[in-house]
Amino acid sequence: MSCCEICDTTTTPGPYVDCLQERKWWCFLLSSIFTFLAGLLIVLLWRVLAFLFCRKEPDLSPNDPKQKEQKAARQGKQEFEGTFMTEAKDWAGELISGQTTTGRILVVLVFILSIASLIIYFIDASSEEVERCQNWSNNVTQQIDLAFNIFFMVYFFIRFIAASDKLWFMLEMYSFVDYFTIPPSFVSIYLDRTWIGLRFLRALRLMTVPDILQYLNILKTSSSIRLAQLVSIFISVWLTAAGIIHLLENSGDPMDFANPQQLSYWTCVYFLIVTMSTVGYGDVYCQTILGRTFLVFFLLVGLAVMASWIPEITELAANRSKYGGEYKRERRRHIVVCGHITYESVSHFLKDFLHEDREDVDVEVVFLHRKEPDLELEGLLKRHYTTVEFFQGTMMNAVDLERVKVHEADACLVLANKYCQDPDAEDAANIMRVISIKNYSDDIRVIIQLMQYHNKAYLLNIPSWDWKQGDDVICLAELKLGFIAQSCLAPGFSTMMANLFAMRSFKTSPDTQAWQNDYLQGTGCEMYTETLSPSFTGMTFPQASELCFTKLKLLLLAIEIKGEDGSDSKISINPRGAKISANTQGFFIAQSADEVKRAWFYCKACHDDIKDETLIKKCKCKNYVGMLMMQTGMVKGDLNQSYIDDDHHLPPSFTTPELPKKVQIRGEAGREREDSITNRNLRNSTPIMNSTKQVNKVKPTVNRALNDATSPNQQGFNRPQEESAYAGYHLAYEVKKLMPTSRSSGGNNVNNNSGVGLQVGIADDQAKDFDFEKTEMKYDSTGMFHWSPARNLEDCILDRNQAAMTVLNGHVVVCLFADPDSPLIGLRNLVMPLRASNFHYHELKHVVIVGAVDYIRREWKMLQNLPKISVLNGSPLSRADLRAVNVNLCDMCVILSAKVPSNDDPTLADKEAILASLNIKAMTFDDTIGVLNQDESGVVSTNENLNSVSGPIVLQRRGSVYGANVPMITELVNDSNVQFLDQDDDDDPDTELYLTQPFACGTAFAVSVLDSLMSTTYFNQNALTLIRSLITGGATPELELILAEGAGLRGGYSTSDSLSNRDRCRVGQISLYDGPLAQFGEAGKYGDLFVAALKSYGMLCIGLYRDIFRFRDTSSSCDASSKRYVITNPPDDFSLLPTDQVFVLMQFDPGMEYKPNRGQKGKDDNS
Q: What angle do CA 622, 628, 634 make, to 5 degrees?
A: 130
Q: What is the largest CA-CA distance in the chain?
A: 150
Among residues 1009, 1031, 1055, which one ends one of the domains? 1009
How many angstroms separate the CA atoms of 1091 and 1082, rounded? 17
How many angstroms separate the CA atoms of 737 and 957, rounded? 9
How many angstroms separate the CA atoms of 280 and 261, rounded? 18
pLDDT interval class at 125 (50, 70, 90): confident
What pLDDT was estimated at residue 11? 39
Based on the domain organization, do 334 and 283 belong to the same domain? no
Q: Give 739 or 44, the one with higher predicted confidence.
A: 44
Contact criterion met (CB below 8 Å) for 612 and 605: no
How many angstroms separate the CA atoms of 966 and 590, rounded? 33
**711-740 mean pLDDT:** 36
What pLDDT was estimated at residue 65? 63
Q: Give 341 or 135, the one with higher predicted confidence.
A: 341
What pLDDT was estimated at residue 1152? 56
The verdict on residue 1159 lying in a domain is: no
pLDDT greater than 70 at residue 71: no
Share of the chain above pLDDT 70, in %: 75
pLDDT interval class at 927 (50, 70, 90): low
pLDDT greater than 90 at residue 1046: no
**Residues 899-910 as b or e (16 or more Cβ within 10 Å = b):** bbbeeeeeeebb
Encoded amino acid at 525, one letter: C
> Beta-carbon neighbour count of residue 305 at 10 Å?
15
How many angstroms separate the CA atoms of 761 and 931, rounded? 11
Of the candidate ranges 418-427, 747-756, 842-851, the one whose mean pLDDT is the lowest: 747-756
pLDDT interval class at 796 (50, 70, 90): very high
Among 106, 248, 120, which Cα is nearest to 184's? 120
Contact criterion met (CB below 8 Å) for 1051 and 777: yes
What pLDDT was estimated at residue 433? 95
- 134: containing domain: 3-44+77-319
Encoded amino acid at 484, one letter: I
The verdict on residue 680 lying in a domain is: no
Specify burial of residue 530 (Cβ count, 10 A radius: 0-12, 13-18, 19+). Answer: buried
Counted domains in the chain = 4
Tell me the DSSP string of 132-189. Answer: EE--GGG-HHHHHHHHHHHHHHHHHHHHHHH-S-HHHHHTSHHHHHHHTTSHHHHHHH
What pLDDT was estimated at residue 50? 81
What is the dihedral sign for C-alpha 795, 800, 804, 809? Answer: positive
3-state class of 434 per DSSP?
helix
Of the candidate ranges 239-243, 307-311, 762-766, the one whose mean pLDDT is the lowest: 762-766
Q: Give 785 or 954, the one with higher predicted confidence.
A: 785
Based on the domain organization, do 285 and 348 belong to the same domain? no
Of the candidate ranges 216-220, 700-704, 710-714, 873-877, the one whose mean pLDDT is the lowest: 700-704
What pLDDT was estimated at residue 744? 34
The verdict on residue 1141 lying in a domain is: no
> Beta-carbon neighbour count of residue 1133 at 10 Å?
9
What pLDDT was estimated at residue 895? 96
For 897, phi then psi, to 5°, come to -140, 130
pLDDT greater than 90 at residue 485: yes
How many angstroms separate the CA atoms of 229 and 316, rounded? 11
The verdict on residue 816 lying in a domain is: yes
3-state class of 69 per DSSP?
helix
The verdict on residue 818 lying in a domain is: yes
**1101-1109 mean pLDDT:** 90
Based on the domain organization, do 557 and 618 belong to the same domain? yes
Q: Which of 212-226, 606-620, 791-805 has the highest mean pLDDT?
A: 791-805
pLDDT greater than 50 at residue 241: yes
The verdict on residue 963 lying in a domain is: yes
pLDDT greater than 60 at residue 940: no
Q: pLDDT tens-digit profile of 154-205?
A: 989 988 888 888 888 889 888 999 999 899 888 888 887 788 888 889 899 8
Alpha helix ranges (H) inside 1067-1113: 1086-1097
Based on the domain organization, do 338 and 394 belong to the same domain? yes
- The mean pLDDT of the chain is 77
What pLDDT was estimated at residue 123? 86
For 574, phi then psi, to 5°, come to 45, 55
How many angstroms separate the CA atoms of 538 and 579, rounded? 6
How many angstroms separate the CA atoms of 987 and 971, rounded? 18
What pLDDT was estimated at residue 108? 87
pLDDT greater than 80 at residue 67: no
Contact criterion met (CB below 8 Å) for 881 and 872: yes
Pairing of the two strands 812-817 and 892-897: parallel
Chain-centroid distance, C-alpha 288: 72
- End-to-end alpha-carbon separation of the chain, Å? 132
**796-816 mean pLDDT:** 90
Contact criterion met (CB below 8 Å) for 210 and 228: yes
What pLDDT was estimated at residue 994? 86
pLDDT interval class at 142 (50, 70, 90): confident
Specify burial of residue 284 (Cβ count, 10 A radius: 0-12, 13-18, 19+). Answer: middle
3-state class of 1127 per DSSP?
strand
How many angstroms separate the CA atoms of 798 and 851, rounded? 11
- To the nearest 10°, the Cα dihedral for 1080, 1084, 1086, 1087? -100
Based on the domain organization, do 300 and 400 belong to the same domain? no
Among 182, 195, 177, which Cα is nearest to 139's? 195
pLDDT interval class at 697 (50, 70, 90): very low
Among 929, 919, 848, which Cα is nearest to 879's? 919
How many angstroms separate the CA atoms of 1045 and 780, rounded? 15
pLDDT greater than 80 at residue 787: yes
Partners of 849 in beta bridges:
814, 871
Tell me the DSSP string of 361-405. Answer: --EEEEEEESS---HHHHHHHHHTTTTEEEEE--TT-HHHHHHTT
Residue 508: give its domain's CATH number. 3.30.70.1450
pLDDT interval class at 18 (50, 70, 90): low
pLDDT greater than 90 at residue 301: no
Residue 52 region, left (φ>0) first, then alpha (ψ -120 to 50), else beta?
alpha
**702-726 mean pLDDT:** 36
What pLDDT was estimated at residue 1167? 33
Residues in the chain: 1167
Specify burial of residue 1150 (Cβ count, 10 A radius: 0-12, 13-18, 19+). Answer: buried
pLDDT interval class at 643 (50, 70, 90): very low
How many angstroms separate the CA atoms of 53 and 576, rounded? 104
How many angstroms separate the CA atoms of 395 and 401, rounded? 6
pLDDT interval class at 592 (50, 70, 90): confident
What pLDDT was estimated at residue 1037? 73
Based on the domain organization, do 856 and 969 belong to the same domain? yes
pLDDT greater than 90 at residue 686: no
Among 529, 1050, 583, which Cα is nearest to 781's? 1050
What pLDDT was estimated at residue 1045? 75
Among 1132, 1142, 1143, which Cα is nearest to 1085's? 1132
pLDDT greater than 60 at residue 699: no
How many angstroms separate the CA atoms of 687 and 841, rounded? 12
Based on the domain organization, do 333 and 300 belong to the same domain? no
Q: What angle do CA 512, 514, 519 make, to 5 degrees?
A: 90
Contact criterion met (CB below 8 Å) for 819 and 899: yes
How many angstroms separate the CA atoms of 175 and 204, rounded? 11
Among residues 1009, 1044, 1077, which one ends one of the domains? 1009
Q: pLDDT tens-digit profile of 556-570?
A: 999 988 876 666 778
pLDDT greater than 90 at residue 1090: yes
What pLDDT was estimated at residue 1116? 40
Based on the domain organization, do 378 and 275 belong to the same domain? no
Based on the domain organization, do 287 and 405 belong to the same domain? no
What pLDDT was estimated at residue 663? 33
Based on the domain organization, do 314 and 334 belong to the same domain? no
pLDDT greater than 60 at residue 276: yes
**533-549 mean pLDDT:** 91
The verdict on residue 624 lying in a domain is: yes
Based on the domain organization, do 121 and 232 belong to the same domain? yes
3-state class of 1068 per DSSP?
strand
pTM of the entire structure? 0.69
pLDDT interval class at 1034 (50, 70, 90): confident
Q: Give 335 or 1165, the one with higher predicted confidence.
A: 335
Beta-carbon-side half-sphere exposure of residue 461 (alpha carbons within 13 Å): 9
What pLDDT was estimated at residue 881? 92
> Beta-carbon neighbour count of residue 261 at 10 Å?
18
pLDDT interval class at 844 (50, 70, 90): very high
Partners of 569 in beta bridges:
562
3-state class of 204 per DSSP?
helix
pLDDT greater than 90 at residue 1117: no
Among residues 581, 611, 638, which one ends one of the domains? 638
What pLDDT was estimated at residue 1130? 93
3-state secondary structure 892-921: EEEEEECCCCCCCCHHHHHHHHHHHHHHHH
pLDDT interval class at 100 (50, 70, 90): confident
pLDDT greater than 50 at residue 753: no
How many angstroms separate the CA atoms of 81 and 259, rounded? 58
Residue 430: give its domain's CATH number. 3.40.50.720
Among 613, 609, 602, which Cα is nearest to 580's? 602
- To the nearest 10°, the Cα dihedral for 624, 627, 631, 634? 170
Among 222, 96, 115, 242, which Cα is nearest to 164's? 96
**859-881 mean pLDDT:** 93
3-state class of 757 per DSSP?
coil
The verdict on residue 413 lying in a domain is: yes
pLDDT greater than 70 at residue 229: yes
Pairing of the two strands 1004-1006 and 1100-1107: unpaired
Among 139, 272, 120, 262, which Cα is nearest to 193's? 139
Contact criterion met (CB below 8 Å) for 920 and 893: yes
Contact criterion met (CB below 8 Å) for 1031 and 527: no
Based on the domain organization, do 499 and 614 belong to the same domain? yes
